[in-house]
Amino acid sequence: MINVNKNAPAIARSEIEIIAEPEKVWDMLTDIENWPKWNHDVKNASLKREVSVGSSFKWKAGPGTITSTFQKIERPKLLVWTGKTLGIKAIHVWKLMPKDDETIVSSEESWDG
């Protein structure tokens, strides 16, 4: 299992309950090119191949364009990617857990470099 870098100078964590099944949330998270529709920090995003371990995608948030690579995929429970931009190395982990008719989505990311 790939985890965020617990010793990184910057770590962000969040959790939310979404009224949707994990599969629907998963479909939204893995629809990379539509990230700007629900995450207004993302200006554009593109994935040239399918969502699979080792495939890369590019996206722009803030001043830099980030090239990220999927490291671990367990549909519809876990999505891990790593990326680099402006000398910063990022590790991002999304976990989806079903709860009744909802999904608890946890997001954790570390930045170092």
* Four-way CATH pick for 12-47+55-112: 3.30.70.270, 3.40.50.300, 3.40.50.10860, 3.30.530.20: 3.30.530.20
Q: Which residue reads 């995450």 in tokens?
A: 39
Give the CA distances from residue 68 to residues 16, 25, 77, 90, 99, in Å, rounded to whole numbers and listed in that order. Answer: 23, 20, 19, 9, 30
d(CA 84, CA 66): 6
User: What does each of the 113 residues of the chain score in pLDDT, given as a tens digit?
Assistant: 789 999 999 999 999 999 999 999 999 999 999 999 999 999 999 998 999 999 999 999 888 899 999 999 999 999 999 999 888 999 999 999 999 999 999 999 999 98
Strand, coil or helix: 55: coil
Predicted TM-score (pTM) of this structure: 0.91
